[in-house]
Amino acid sequence: MTDQTERQILISHTGDAAFRVQVHPPLYEGLDGTFPTHREARGWASGLRMTRGWRIIDLASDAALSNMLKGDR
Q: In what helix (H) or strand (E) does residue 20 lie, and over which residues does it extend?
A: strand 19-24
* Domain layout of the chain by residue ranges: 7-69
Q: What pLDDT, on the 0 to 100 scale, is given for residue 1?
A: 44
Query: Quick check: 45 and 56 in contact, CB under 8 A?
Result: yes
Summarised one tens digit per residue, pLDDT across range 5-52 is 589 999 999 888 899 999 999 988 899 999 999 999 999 999 999 999
Alpha-carbon dihedral 60, 18, 67, 44, rounded to 10 degrees? -60
Alpha-carbon distance 52 to 49, whole Å? 5
Q: Edge-to-edge, what's the strand order for the sheet holding 19-24? A: 33-35, 19-24, 8-13, 55-58
